[in-house]
Structure 1
Amino acid sequence: MTAKRISLRRSAITALLLLSSSIPGLARAETLQGALGRAYRFNPTLTGARAGQRATDESVPIQKAAGRPNAGASAEFQELLLRPANNFISPHRSASASASVNVPIYSGGAVRNGVKAAKKRVEAGRADLRATEASIFAQVVAAYMDVIRDAAIVSLNLANVKVLDVNLQATNDRFEVGDLTRTDVAQSESRLALARSDLQTAQANLIGSRENYIALVGTAPDDLAPPPALPGLPATPDLAVQVALADNPDIQSAQKASEAARYDVRVARAGSLPTLSGFTQGSYTNYFDNDLAVNKQVAVGVTANLPLYQGGRPAAQVRQAQALQSRAMEQEIGVERGVIAQARAAYASWQASTLTIQSSQKAVDAANLSLEGVRAENSVGSRTILDILNAEQEALIANVELVSARRNAYVAGFSLLAAMGHAEAKDLGLDGGALYDPVVNYDRVKGKWFDWDHDPKPVPVATRTVDSPAQNANVSLTAQQPRGE
């Protein structure tokens, strides 16, 4: 897939998500884009992942510090409280100070390769951050669709309870005039009781979905607008896999981690190589009650270290690093396998849910037609109350299946985009300001060398939900249903 096609796809996704927030009549409704935007900025999992990436950025200046000069100083004051019996010339008090500067010249490549490994891990961390974004977005989409689905199911069950309540009243009236038997009344009462039980379950599910939405987005799901259709979905599973292998952030992270492990082996090999460093040091000593009151000394030189035998440690460290490199290579293949399976499974789920929508729609149409016919036939005495109750139950089940299929198709489609690596912030056109760029922090810290160059005290970025009200299951009978296009 060319870069131009990918760019057009992302532009289409952006345009449609923006459209969802500008449709007339939906100006005050919560949109999917708005929910994704709030989660992007204030979800604690995502803001925590960004902080973790900033910590990973610091591994580069930490590795660079090993190749930079280091300086130190010390001072000492001594008061002699008891002079030795055989030493009458020891000074009663003295003060001394010393300072030294060491400059690494050659470290066997440990510093150079350590910095390269750290840079690769920074790149791997950025890919992990992208994967976290996609994961959070997929969860938000699922939560958004769960609320829409469960609200629709509650509405369907509310309508069903009202219909069955009317049926029971009509059955009682006909029983009073001798047109129906006590059995018909009992059947109507039983179905009404079951419908009320199903309604309570549906309401509990809706409350749970709304609370889960708050946990992810940070605000209550009030008046959710229907989501826009998902563009850019692949025509075949092979095309989905092709895009995923190129763009999935989990694969890119595993590749960078494997490259970092290769540099770790070189760092370990440096443990058995010579090192060279230069130094300068000076000292000052003052004997306050001695004729030789002051001693001064300054020296410069070079230190060479040639390891001859270290008990086998360097070889063990190399073997260990090689084993870890081997593990990283195997993990890269494992991640690739998982992404392929994920893309194919998401495609199959999306296709199945799409076909289920078509079948469920036919079932709804047929069930509604059947219910009308059964009611008409009951009015002329050719159908029983039980037939009406069964037809109403079938119509309810068909409608619930349709609502669930639309939710499943949308979530599966978005999951497919996520597996392909096309469900990240840059693909969704989120509003509310510039997107978070991890490169900005890396560029800020990669060259820092001052020992006291600290950042301000950390403060939370994510919003808390402790003050959010407990959710209820209040819905209108015209609750929006998810679309499965």
Structure 2
Amino acid sequence: MRTRSVIPGLLAGVCLLATPAQAETLKEALLRAYEDNPTLLAARAQQRATDEGVVIQRSQALPSVTTSATYSEFLQQNSVSFISPERQLNASVDLSLPIYQGGAVRNGILAAENRVEAGRADLRSTESAVFTDVVTNYMNVIQNEAIVELAANNVEVLEINLQATSDRFEIGDLTRTDVAQSESRLAIARGDLRTAEANLVNARERYIAAVGAAPTDLEPPPPLPGLPASPDEAVAVALENNPDLIAAIERADAAGFDIEVAGSGRLPTVSLFTNGGYQNFLGTLGSITGAPADQTSTNATAGVRLSLPIFQGGRVAAQQRQATAQAEAALEQVIATERSIIAQTRAIYSSWRAANAIIASSEAAVAAAELSLEGVRAENTVGNRSILDILDAQQELLRAQVQLVTARRNAYVAGFSLLAIMGKAEARDLGLGEDGVLYDPVDNYERVRRIVWDWHWDPDPVATSSRTVDIPAPDGEVADTESAGD
């Protein structure tokens, strides 16, 4: 009984599928997500909002100018006054320049700058997380397409086996039990194929959500560069470059400056001030001398203002204690983040090494299962093996093939996750800058940090990421491998 063997190309590489000329690469998927993923675009916008914290803090050290104008109508005149005006126009201009504010401004700026650095690290972390999600979904599509191919091939093999078994039953060479066993395995295989197709639909939907486009004939991913030789090396790199840890450290530093800002509330403040005023009675001011009264007047004042808090009901002390406790919490968060990174790095490294070991054992298992299946078929022709033995050998081969496909997917995802936690899975690390200008958060910071004009604003906010509602719902089918390669 001869049957079509499993497509050799399925197990030839990580992709396990023939690649047409217009296939999509992992780099293209990552670049699309870099430019269009809403989570990443939102993180960039949030960082631009964080940049403004420095400008807001610095504004407290700059001069402030205010003006006011008042027009008044006196509806009822003073009965004992002979010169009461009927209306009045007042205008004033006030200028204030802070000289000393107890260190609140300087420490507030330093805290805001640290939070900008923390935000940049958060943006790096979001970028790595988005890329890890893209790689995971990219490999999930490849894995599930391969499993669908294997399941479809298994159904075809079992259909041929059932036909051959039925033919032998007709001539009395096999029993009805043999036919029933073949029918049972075929029914299960068809159910497994439907499950595999449903899993492929789910993988394709998740890919669309992450990338913003449907997966099209995904190519095998390139080898991952810079993977560590030991868990200790991975941990050392992670502790130096992991963006989450960097963000936690920057926030702890900012919290330290917050203590000084809170304590400044008990210190004196000094400022220079000047103001000018203008008054006009609009020709309605009377005179008791008979000569026309002067209807306008001006005044100007300049001076130094000193303010020294004496008693504030314990508010400043409470604010400083609160800031101290928050700084302590931030320091503990640094340790917690460091612990988590160490544990995750070691665990991911172990998973990556295990997946590579499983690949080697699965390749040996596939080779042995193929040899076993051929031997069982040969022995069945001379009556030494039953149909059930053939079915069991076929199932064993399928399990080994699926395990190999899964191990290759797991090894690549674990390897990329290891790079991500080491801080080595960002756009610059992946060479995405070769295809366009990379987003640099420093550009926006430099753009806004010196703006002091109150009437400056950015354009109205608009969402720039694309929607996926118009992308057709994916199915669980896989293009025929042989025709795709023609």
TM-score between the two structures when normalised by the length of structure 2: 0.91
Deviation at 1:90, TM superposition (A): 3.2
Corresponding residue of 1:109? 103
1:65-464 alignment to 2 at 5 Å? 65-83=59-77, 89-288=83-282, 289-290=284-285, 291-430=293-432, 431-464=434-467
Unmatched 5+ stretches in structure 1: 1-19, 480-485
Corresponding residue of 1:470? 473
Deviation at 1:465, TM superposition (A): 1.1
Asked if the contact 1:245/1:251 (under 8 Å) is kept, the reply is yes
User: The residue matched to 2:352 in structure 1 has which SS?
Assistant: helix
State how far apart, in whole Å, the 2-side matches of 1:294 and 1:216 are: 70
Deviation at 1:88, TM superposition (A): 6.1
User: The residue matched to 1:428 in structure 2 has which SS?
Assistant: coil
State how far apart, in whole Å, the 2-side matches of 1:226 and 1:346 are: 22
State how far apart, in whole Å, the 2-side matches of 1:207 and 1:452 are: 51
Q: Which amino acid aligns with 1:450?
A: W
Asked if the contact 1:156/1:477 (under 8 Å) is kept, the reply is no
Asked if the contact 2:20/2:217 (under 8 Å) is kept, the reply is no
Task: Name which of structure 1's ranges 456-465 and 185-194 shifts more when overlaid on structure 2.
Answer: 456-465
User: The residue matched to 2:428 in structure 1 has which SS?
Assistant: helix
Task: Name which of structure 1's ranges 224-233 and 289-298 shifts more when overlaid on structure 2.
Answer: 289-298
Task: Report how many residues are paired.
Answer: 457
User: The residue matched to 1:299 in structure 2 has which SS?
Assistant: strand
477 and 191 in structure 1: CA distance in 2 versus 1, 3 angstrom threshold: farther
Asked if the contact 1:277/1:303 (under 8 Å) is kept, the reply is yes
User: The residue matched to 2:437 in structure 1 has which SS?
Assistant: coil
Corresponding residue of 2:44? 50
State how far apart, in whole Å, the 2-side matches of 1:368 and 1:75 are: 93
User: The residue matched to 1:33 in structure 2 has which SS?
Assistant: helix
Task: Name which of structure 1's ranges 228-237 and 43-52 shifts more when overlaid on structure 2.
Answer: 228-237
Asked if the contact 1:284/1:294 (under 8 Å) is kept, the reply is yes
Deviation at 1:461, TM superposition (A): 2.3
Deviation at 1:432, TM superposition (A): 2.5
CA RMSD of aligned residues (A): 1.6
User: The residue matched to 2:250 in structure 1 has which SS?
Assistant: helix
State how far apart, in whole Å, the 2-side matches of 1:48 and 1:162 are: 48
Asked if the contact 1:155/1:476 (under 8 Å) is kept, the reply is no
TM-score between the two structures when normalised by the length of structure 1: 0.92
User: The residue matched to 1:425 in structure 2 has which SS?
Assistant: coil
Q: How much identity, in percent, do the aligned residues show?
A: 58
State how far apart, in whole Å, the 2-side matches of 1:425 and 1:145 are: 19
Unmatched 5+ stretches in structure 2: 1-13, 286-292
Asked if the contact 1:207/1:471 (under 8 Å) is kept, the reply is yes
Corresponding residue of 2:53? 59
477 and 396 in structure 1: CA distance in 2 versus 1, 3 angstrom threshold: farther
Deviation at 1:86, TM superposition (A): 5.6
Deviation at 1:41, TM superposition (A): 1.0
Q: Which amino acid aligns with 1:359?
A: S
Deviation at 1:67, TM superposition (A): 0.7
State how far apart, in whole Å, the 2-side matches of 1:182 and 1:198 are: 24
1:11-50 alignment to 2 at 5 Å? 28-50=22-44
Asked if the contact 2:19/2:219 (under 8 Å) is kept, the reply is no
State how far apart, in whole Å, the 2-side matches of 1:278 and 1:435 are: 46
State how far apart, in whole Å, the 1-side matches of 2:479 and 2:365 are: 24
User: The residue matched to 1:99 in structure 2 has which SS?
Assistant: strand
State how far apart, in whole Å, the 2-side matches of 1:60 and 1:462 are: 28
State how far apart, in whole Å, the 1-side matches of 2:239 and 2:223 are: 25
State how far apart, in whole Å, the 2-side matches of 1:397 and 1:477 are: 22
State how far apart, in whole Å, the 1-side matches of 2:143 and 2:312 are: 67
Q: Which amino acid aligns with 1:245?
A: L
Task: Name which of structure 1's ranges 149-158 and 384-393 shifts more when overlaid on structure 2.
Answer: 384-393
State how far apart, in whole Å, the 1-side matches of 2:182 and 2:81 are: 114
Deviation at 1:120, TM superposition (A): 0.6
State how far apart, in whole Å, the 1-side matches of 2:44 and 2:198 are: 35
Q: Which amino acid aligns with 2:97?
A: V
State how far apart, in whole Å, the 1-side matches of 2:457 and 2:367 are: 67
State how far apart, in whole Å, the 1-side matches of 2:480 and 2:383 are: 32
Corresponding residue of 2:10? none
State how far apart, in whole Å, the 2-side matches of 1:144 and 1:280 are: 66
Corresponding residue of 1:3? none
State how far apart, in whole Å, the 1-side matches of 2:340 and 2:80 are: 80
Corresponding residue of 2:7? none
